[in-house]
Structure 1
Amino acid sequence: MSIPGQAAADALVRRIGVSIDPDLLVLALTHRSFAYEAGGLPTNERLEFLGDSVLGIVVTDHLYHAHPDLPEGELAKMRAACVSQKSLAIVAREIELGPCILLGKGETATGGSDKDSILCDAFEAILGAVYLTHGIEVSRDVVLRLVGPSLAAAARSGAALDWKTSLQERCAELGLAAPVYDVDGEGPDHARVFTARAVVDGTVRGQGTGSAKKHAEQEAAAAAYASLATFESSLKADAITSDVS
């Protein structure tokens, strides 16, 4: 099976640095919008699921051995920074993945080839295809080579926030119940959008949207974390007023 823009796809494989089974490569590049318009072809979502797990174990294993003195919470934040949608979309742009993704007419018209969510999902699908073609050790080499700059940046900066973890920690510090997430999905399978609400002590503190539940939850957690800053300020103001009176 060949890909429209086969030359671009061949160049992509060279940038990835390892061969990929041709059929798996086509599958990894097949977005659900293209599959839907083509009459129900298989999509890259199963490969994305697999690649997400491969990415997670490689990054976790690397961080565990590279930072033996860091506690679990800090390692979790570093991992979240490296495998976030934004970070993976940056890697996808660096290897020029976007132009190779097979998209439906609607996504093509709205710039889907440069959307963070689509780039992230396709990159994870590519990792799934690499794993099925070569196994875990070659996949490890590919992940560490492509995601390495993000790992280094996380080590230097102490990592960007994993908002769900940070929100849970902040709730504990404020004596609040752990956050829970209410998630709804709307739209057809090829263009589904999820809306998540982060609920703390029975109150919706933040809301977010995304093409996957995990991304929507992260956005909601980030909004809730900001909301708690306002909540904390009001508590301090009330305390000062009580002391004065």
Structure 2
Amino acid sequence: MGDHLSYWLREIVQPNLAPATYISFEGFVRLYITPGLGTKRLDRLQVRDVQTWINQVARTCQRCAQEKDIARPRGKQLCCATGTCCRAVPSGSTIKGLRATLRAALAQAVTEELVTKNVASLVKLQVRRKKPGRAWHSDEARQFLEAARAGDDPLYAAWVLILVLGLRRGELLGLGWDEIDERAGELTVRWQLQRISNRLLRRETKTRESDAVLPLPDICLTALRMRRGGSGRGPGCRRP
């Protein structure tokens, strides 16, 4: 398994998928999958092996398992380093990510006829209820934007685009003036800014379906004009 995972990351994921996807898969493999399943023979891996492993990960404190606090200076150590476990078990999204990563790696093994079935796809996960979030009411959003404008907040235009158009953070930060048509009153989402291994990368959105042309209400146009006149930087706070 360890050899196959290394090959899969190096030859399949890194050359062909987005850098952020590679970073995510590599982290899951390095921190969880290889330590738990790396010594298993690929052609003998069974559903029971994966089910037992992922159940164990889900109930194990990862501060202890990964010895995260051992290298910390005395006085800043937590959990296992002090002899008192904090029970920092992985979140439900982490467990889902582990299964998805292993399933993708084994799908390649099926494609290359190294195994006959993808055992990760047969693993069951505990159903965890999501905690309900709370969105702002329109009055709360309006009060926030009024306060930001009155206080000359340099990110006022960013807050407007997020709250009015629903832009994601990466889409906002990747936005350039050439994607804004003031005459037509439209904004085109084509780019996103991502931090990958301590580097900022401006990349196209994930798929063509992710691209969008959005109408710009007056509040957005006004905020963008203030932004252009005030700093000269891109609307998403990206240097031109």
TM-score between both structures, scaled by the size of structure 1:
0.24
- Higher RCO (CA < 8 A, seq sep 6+): 1
TM-score between both structures, scaled by the size of structure 2:
0.24
Of Structure 1 and Structure 2, the greater helix share is in 1
